[in-house]
C-alpha cells in the first residue's frame, strides 16, 4: 500500500463539501479527495503526468480534515488525523507533497518516506523532482515486490 499526503483540500464551496463529508463514509471521503485531485487542477495534472499508472495504486490523503475555500489558504496539519491514516492504511511507502505535508508526516512515520515538492510549486525543477520521485518509487516497488504494483482498494 502506498499512501500519499497533500496539505489540505480546497474547494469553492467548503461549507457544502463539509456537509457532504460529514454524512458520508470514510471510503467516500477518500474517493472524494481522489476525484477532486484529478478533476483538472494543476496538482492532479502534474501528479498524473509524473506518476502515471502509479496513481491507480496510491491512496491520497490530506494532512488535515479541514477544507479551505481557496488555494492560498493553508490549513494547519492535524497530527491525530495523519497518525490515524498511517494506522488505518498501514502503508509500505508514504509520499508527501509539499513542505506542509512533509513537515507534518515526517515525525510520525518511521518507514520509507519519499518527500516531493508540492505539484503546483512554481520552481522550474518541480516536474523534474516529481519525475525523479516517481522513478525512485517504481524502482523500489519492483525491487521489493518483483512485480508492478496492484491497484489499491478505495
In the block, cell 471510503 appears at: 27
Question: Grid cell 463539501 — which residue?
Answer: 17
- Which region, left, alpha or beta, applies to residue 98 given φ > 0 means left and ψ of -120 to 50 means alpha? left
**What tens digit of pLDDT does each residue of 40-49 get?**
899 999 999 9
DSSP, res 4: E
The DSSP string of 89-119 is H--SEEEEESHHHHHHHGGG--SEEEEE--T
Q: What is the DSSP string of 37-71?
A: HTSS-HHHHHHHHHHGGGGGGEEEEES-S-EESST
Render pLDDT for 126-148 as a digit per residue (tens, 0 to 9): 999 999 999 999 999 889 887 66
119: CB partners within 8 A, 6+ apart: 42, 43, 44, 45, 46, 47, 50, 97, 126, 130
Residue-wise pLDDT for 60-119, tens only, equals 999 999 999 988 898 999 999 999 999 999 999 999 999 999 999 999 999 999 999 999
pTM for this entry: 0.90
- Cell reading at 3: 499512501
Q: What is the pLDDT of residue 117?
A: 97
Cell numbers given for 73: 489558504
126/109 Cα distance (integer angstroms): 24
Per-residue pLDDT reduced to its tens digit, 12-31: 999 999 999 999 999 999 99
**How many residues does the structure list for the chain?**
154
Amino acid at each position: 500500500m502506498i499512501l500519499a499526503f497533500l496539505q489540505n483540500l480546497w474547494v469553492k464551496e467548503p461549507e457544502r463539501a463539509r456537509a457532504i463529508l460529514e454524512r458520508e463514509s470514510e471510503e467516500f471521503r477518500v474517493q472524494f479527495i481522489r476525484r477532486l485531485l484529478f478533476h483538472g487542477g494543476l496538482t492532479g495534472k502534474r501528479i498524473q503526468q509524473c506518476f502515471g499508472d502509479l496513481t491507480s495504486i496510491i491512496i491520497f490523503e490530506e494532512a488535515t480534515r479541514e477544507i479551505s475555500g481557496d488555494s492560498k489558504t493553508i490549513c494547519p496539519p492535524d497530527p491525530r488525523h495523519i497518525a490515524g491514516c498511517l494506522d488505518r492504511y498501514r502503508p509500505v511507502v508514504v509520499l508527501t507533497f509539499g513542505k506542509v505535508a512533509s513537515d507534518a508526516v515526517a515525525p510520525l512515520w518511521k518507514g520509507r518516506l519519499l518527500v516531493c515538492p508540492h505539484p503546483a510549486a512554481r520552481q522550474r525543477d518541480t516536474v523534474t523532482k516529481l519525475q525523479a520521485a516517481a522513478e525512485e518509487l517504481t524502482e523500489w516497488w519492483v525491487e521489493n515486490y518483483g512485480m508492478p504494483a496492484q491497484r489499491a482498494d478505495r
